Structures are given as C-alpha cells and as structure tokens.
C-alpha cells in the first residue's frame, strides 16, 4: 500500500530532499515561512509517523559575547588598543605609570583594565618591561604583531552573534576558554531540534506516494447517510497503531519526592512509623541530648545556622535539664565520667536550624514512658541544614533519613540487619558497615553501599547504639537499648536517578524532568 501524506506536507518533503543534511527546525521554519510550532506538530510529525522524517534533540552550548566584549568588536581587545596607543608617534618605550594615566584619559580605561591589557601584551611578547631605572618601563618588542587567537575568536563574532562550540575552528577552542575566563563570552544552554529525512524519505518519489488534499479523520453522519464516505476511502486517515502517545509534560511528582515516598514505603513495610519534628530546634535537642559537648566543633557558627529571632528557645522540665547537665559535667548516674566542663543553659537554649534529623528521633525518645509498647520503631525523612559551600556533592540544605528502634536486648547485629534490609528493599544488595565515631553512639558504624554502575562503595551515613549518656535521661536503661542511624538521602537518590550533580535534584534541569517518568 502506498504511503499517504498530505499534499502540503509533500512540498516540505521535497524541500528537505533538496537540503539533504539535517537542518535546525527553527531555521527550517524561517526558510519555509511556516510557524515553528505548526511545522513541528504538522508536517514533521506526520512525516515522522510514516517513517519519512525524524528529528533529534541536541543540547547545545551557545557562545555569545558579553556587553564588554561587544564594545571591543570594532576597536579591538584592550591589549590591542593599548598597544596601538603605545606605538603612536614612533614611540618605543614609556614609563608604565605615566602610560596608565594617558590610557585612562584617552581610552577611558580604568586601571584594572589597563593592567589586564599590559599583562596580556607581556604574555604575547608584544612588549618587554624593565625596572632597571627604579620604576617600570615598557618597550615595544614586536612591530606589528599578528592577531592572537583571542583576537581571532573575537573577529568571528563580526559575522554572527552566536556560535556553538562545534562551529568554532578547532585551533581556537582553547582561546574560547581563556576569553571565557576574561568574562568576554557567555555560555548559554539551548535545545536544538535537528530535522532530517530517513533513508527512505530521502529517495521516495511522488509516484510512490498517495497525496491527499484533505485528510478525513472523522466520518460524519452526513457522510454515512449520503454514502460519500465510500468515495473518499483513500482520503481516510489511517490508524497508526504503533505511534507512541505524546510525551506528557503535565504536572507529575518530582523524582526526589518519588524516592522519598519509596523510602517511606520501605520503612512502613518493615514495621516503622514516620515521625516529624521541628526544623527550627533548640541546641538542647540538636546537640546536648546527644551528649555533644558544648565546645564541639560541629556547633560552631561555620557549620550550624543559628537564629537571630527567636535566638532563645525553651528547655524541658528542670529535672530533665539537671540530668543532662550532670551527664555532661560528670556523667551523672550513667556510669560515665562525662566531659568534665561547666555546662551552660544559655548555650543549650540557642535556636538553630537542625543539622541532623537525629534531633527529631531524640525528641521521640524523650517522650517515651513506661507504657510505651516495645519494640518501638520510628523513622524520619526530612530536611536538615548546614553552612557548607555548595558544589557537585554538597548543599547547605539537604535531607536525612534517621531511624531508631527501642527494644529489649537489641544488639549490633539487629542494627546491621535493619540497615541491610532497608538498602536491599531500596535496590542495593551489598551493604558494608565499618567502625565509626559519633559522640552519641557506642559502638558506632559507618554505612556504605555498593554501586554496581560505579563499581565502588559509597558512604551513606552513620549508625550505632545510643550511649547510656543519651538514653538514661529518659529512663531507658539496659536491657532496653536503642539502635539509631542517620543516612543521606540525596546520594541514594543520585545513584537511583543517575545524576552526578546533587544540585540537579533541587535546581531541576527541565529537560531531564520532562523525560523522567512518574
Ligand atoms: N547524625 C549523624 C549525622 O548526621 C548520623 C547518625 C545518626 C549517626 C544516628 C549515629 C546515629 O551524620
């Protein structure tokens, strides 16, 4: 059976046959004077459906000049402008500082720009300098120097306002980097659609096609009554049963939300209940209850965001505060010697953004009573804050997965069992624990999982059994013990979502978000 296409689409097919190579959809739409959307969803879509055309998406980095660089287009880069000034009236040498003033007056270049120019001129060996007179003098070293690679790059922009990297001649690519570092060019991401005919589309002729002026995609009751539908059989639009539905870009869950929900499901399936706690915490719950001494480095300003308003929070009942104080100072009744310093209520009252969700599990522990049914298993997956500079693997705001199990005669093997089971249900077969250290657990373990894709072990977080210094205050004593852990969420998410920049999870590259399914 002949392939049928609309006559107007055939005209476009012929144009594409002439063009031969892939063409950018936008320039095609300009060439044909057909609006872009109409071209893509009409002709190209239909030709694609019948296997005559295809299109690819390509993410391109477009390089354009900054405003500063545009002002150099006609006059030349600062080094060239300054060099031209230097050579005026057959001058061969000049005192650097006098020259700076001259340039400031004549070219209106600020000192900074002047010195950038001078250093470039030296690097290009257009000039030499000497301090033998007790001040810096510069001399012309080349009479009329050839254009540097940076200048050649600039010249490219006289013909066209933007280039993709692949359009830049290979020998100038390095110069692009240096000119980028000079803030003379910007790089912008753009998605290009390249339209191209399939091998079949390239050679198909009019005779092999069924051209239809108007396609009938709905048979009306009139057509049925007067029988005209029979006459138009060849104009009936065919069903394309293999066609994929359109890519739905409507609202959907964010990939990170999906993973958070998966974490929740896994813990629920293991018999845990979810708990929530305040993001704005007292240092008391974030640090003191966890037996972190008040001069602990993690409490310092560079790690913890302290609040100005309210700067002070509330502490629980006096009796409890007294127990925590004693624990820190001398160990209290826990059998420990404590840290041996003077504990301050003021420091414990400070308000902060919680630095770990262990603040929330400890709050839950603090509500335990004699009536609480054991074992008790709770988890918390939520946001935490640390004053870190952001990069590929760090954010100042991220998520943690904390959990505790309170029960009689629990052991380290139970803890390992819970962690291994959690990661197994999350899709990671291999888990390893190594000795670690936290002020609030003994023994403590670091937890790593194996990523098949990366062929490496990746550290996921910490865990351990809460020390008596942490549990006694709430009446939790041997043989009742508390297993605890605090795991990173984003690293797990990055592995599962195959992203290698943590910022992708929060700053949302739109192309990726459109592609990921529910
Ligand atoms: N709170 C620790 C962290 O943020 C992790 C941890 C939680 C360790 C519970 C032991 C027990 O890294």
Terminal CA-to-CA distance of the chain, rounded, Å? Answer: 39
- In tens, the pLDDT along 89-110 reads 888 889 999 999 999 999 999 8
Specify the ligand 1 atom closest to the Cα of 487. Answer: 5
CA of 318 from ligand 1 middle (Å) equals 27
What is the average per-residue pLDDT within 417-435?
Answer: 96
- pLDDT number for residue 315: 96
- Angle of helix 255-269 versus helix 412-425 axis, rounded to 10: 130
CA of 244 from ligand 1 middle (Å) equals 47
Query: C-alpha distances in angstroms, 220 versus 217, 224, 233, 237, 466?
Result: 10, 7, 13, 14, 75
Domain ranges of the chain: 3-60+193-235, 68-146, 256-278+358-515
**Taking CB atoms and a 6 Å cutoff, what residues make up the pocket around ligand 1?**
356, 358, 402, 438, 441, 461-464, 484-486
Q: Is 267 helix (H, G, I), strand (E, B) or coil?
A: helix
Q: In three state form, how does the secondary structure of 323-356 look?
A: HHHHHHHHCCCCCCCCCCCCCCHHHHHEEEECCC
Band (pLDDT 50/70/90 cuts) for residue 192 is confident
- pLDDT number for residue 457: 94
CA distance 290 to 362: 8
**Could you tell me where the beta strands, DSSP code E, fall in 107-212?**
127-130, 137-140, 162-164, 185-197, 209-212
CATH 1.10.760.10 fits 68-146, yes or no: no
- pLDDT number for residue 444: 97
CA distance 438 to 433: 14
What is the average per-residue pLDDT within 400-426?
Answer: 97
- pLDDT number for residue 92: 85
- pLDDT number for residue 321: 97
For residue 246, pLDDT over 80 is answered with: no
Residue 92 near residue 130 (C-beta atoms within 8 A): no
Between 68 and 89, name the one with better pLDDT.
68
Between 217 and 456, name the one with better pLDDT.
456
CATH 3.30.470.20 fits 3-60+193-235, yes or no: no
Specify the ligand 1 atom closest to the Cα of 384. Answer: 4
Cis peptide bond N-terminal to 362, omega within 30: no
- pLDDT number for residue 518: 63
- Comparing 224-238, 299-313, 489-503, the range with the smallest average pLDDT is 224-238
Share of the chain above pLDDT 70, in %: 99
Cis peptide bond N-terminal to 18, omega within 30: no
- pLDDT number for residue 401: 98
Write out the two tokens for 110.
């600020």
Give, in degrees to the nearest 5, the angle at Cα 131 between 127 and 134. Answer: 145
What is the average per-residue pLDDT within 198-211?
Answer: 91
Band (pLDDT 50/70/90 cuts) for residue 235 is confident
Residue 361 near residue 484 (C-beta atoms within 8 A): yes
Phi, psi dihedrals of residue 456, rounded to the nearest 5°:
-145, 160
What DSSP character marks residue 239? Answer: P
Residue 25 near residue 33 (C-beta atoms within 8 A): no
Task: Calculate the average pLDDT of the chain.
Answer: 92
Specify the ligand 1 atom closest to the Cα of 400. Answer: 4
CA distance 258 to 489: 12
For residue 408, pLDDT over 80 is answered with: yes
Residue of 191, 230, 200 whose CA lies nearest to 512: 191
What is the average per-residue pLDDT within 493-513?
Answer: 90
For residue 88, pLDDT over 90 is answered with: no
- pLDDT number for residue 333: 95
CATH superfamily of 256-278+358-515: Bira Bifunctional Protein; Domain 2 (3.30.930.10)
For residue 503, pLDDT over 80 is answered with: yes
- pLDDT number for residue 147: 95
CA of 462 from ligand 1 middle (Å) equals 5
The answer to whether 3-60+193-235 and 68-146 have equal CATH topology is yes
Q: Is 47 helix (H, G, I), strand (E, B) or coil?
A: helix
CA of 6 from ligand 1 middle (Å) equals 65
What is the average per-residue pLDDT within 54-58?
Answer: 87
- Nearest alpha carbon, ligand 1 atom 9: 485
Residue of 372, 389, 374, 359 whose CA lies nearest to 486: 359
- In tens, the pLDDT along 328-363 reads 999 999 999 999 999 999 999 999 999 999 999 999
- Nearest alpha carbon, ligand 1 atom 3: 486
Between 217 and 457, name the one with better pLDDT.
457
Cis peptide bond N-terminal to 443, omega within 30: yes
For residue 282, pLDDT over 80 is answered with: yes
Q: Using CB atoms within 10 A of its CB, is residue 118 exposed (0-12), middle (13-18) or buried (19+)?
A: buried
For residue 232, pLDDT over 80 is answered with: no
Q: How many CB atoms lie within 10 A of CB 164?
A: 14
Q: Using CB atoms within 10 A of its CB, is residue 447 exposed (0-12), middle (13-18) or buried (19+)?
A: buried
CA distance 359 to 287: 8
H or E element, residue 238: none
Q: How many CB atoms lie within 10 A of CB 66?
A: 15
Residue to mutate, 304, 438, 445, 463, ligand 1, most ligand atoms under 8 Å from C-beta: 438
- In tens, the pLDDT along 35-55 reads 888 888 888 998 999 999 998
Write out the two tokens for 116.
């950038």
């Amino acid at each position: 059976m002949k392939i049928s296409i609309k006559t107007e689409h055939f005209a476009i097919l012929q144009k594409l046959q002439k063009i031969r190579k892939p063409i950018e959809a936008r320039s095609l739409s300009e060439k044909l004077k057909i609006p872009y959307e109409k071209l893509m969803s009409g002709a190209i879509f239909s030709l694609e459906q019948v296997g005559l055309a295809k299109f690819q998406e390509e993410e391109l980095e477009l390089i354009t000049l900054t405003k500063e660089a545009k002002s150099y287009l006609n006059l030349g880069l600062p080094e060239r402008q300054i060099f031209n000034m230097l050579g005026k009236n057959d001058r061969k040498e000049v005192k650097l500082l006098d020259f700076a003033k001259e340039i400031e007056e004549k070219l209106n270049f600020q000192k900074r720009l002047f010195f950038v120019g001078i250093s470039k001129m030296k690097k290009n060996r257009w000039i030499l300098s000497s301090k033998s007179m007790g001040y810096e003098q510069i001399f012309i070293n080349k009479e009329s120097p050839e254009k540097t690679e940076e200048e050649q790059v600039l010249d490219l922009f006289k013909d066209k306002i933007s280039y993709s990297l692949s359009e830049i001649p290979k020998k100038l690519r390095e110069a692009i980097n240096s000119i980028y570092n000079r803030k003379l060019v910007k790089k912008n991401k753009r998605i290009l659609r390249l339209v191209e005919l399939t091998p079949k589309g390239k050679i198909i002729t009019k005779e092999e096609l069924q051209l239809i002026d108007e396609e009938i995609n709905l048979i009306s009751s009139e057509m049925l009554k007067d029988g005209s539908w029979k006459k138009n059989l060849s104009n009936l639009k065919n069903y394309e049963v293999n066609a994929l539905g359109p890519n739905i870009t409507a609202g959907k869950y964010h990939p990170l939300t999906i993973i958070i929900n998966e974490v929740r499901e896994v813990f629920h399936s293991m018999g845990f209940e979810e708990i929530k706690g305040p993001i704005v915490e007292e240092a008391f719950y974030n640090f003191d209850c966890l037996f972190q001494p008040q001069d602990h480095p993690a409490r310092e300003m560079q790690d913890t965001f302290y609040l100005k308003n309210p700067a002070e929070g509330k502490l629980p009942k006096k009796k409890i505060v007294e127990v925590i104080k004693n624990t820190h100072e001398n160990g209290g009744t826990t059998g420990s010697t404590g840290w041996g310093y003077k504990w301050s209520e003021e420091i414990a009252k400070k308000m902060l953004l919680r630095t770990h969700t262990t603040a929330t599990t400890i709050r839950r522990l603090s509500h335990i009573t004699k009536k609480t049914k054991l074992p008790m298993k709770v988890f918390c997956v939520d946001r935490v804050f640390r004053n870190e500079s952001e990069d590929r693997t760090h954010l100042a705001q991220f998520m943690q997965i904390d959990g505790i199990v309170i029960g009689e005669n629990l052991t380290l093997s139970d803890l390992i069992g819970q962690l291994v089971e959690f990661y197994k249900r999350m899709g990671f077969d291999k888990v390893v624990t190594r000795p670690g250290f936290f002020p609030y657990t003994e023994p403590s373990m670091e937890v790593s999982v194996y990523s098949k894709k990366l062929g490496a072990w990746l550290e996921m977080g910490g865990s351990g059994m809460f020390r008596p210094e942490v549990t006694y205050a709430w009446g939790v004593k041997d043989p009742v013990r508390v297993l605890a852990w605090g795991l990173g969420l984003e690293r797990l998410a990055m592995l599962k979502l195959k992203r290698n920049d943590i910022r992708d999870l929060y700053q949302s590259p739109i192309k990726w978000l459109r592609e990921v399914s529910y």
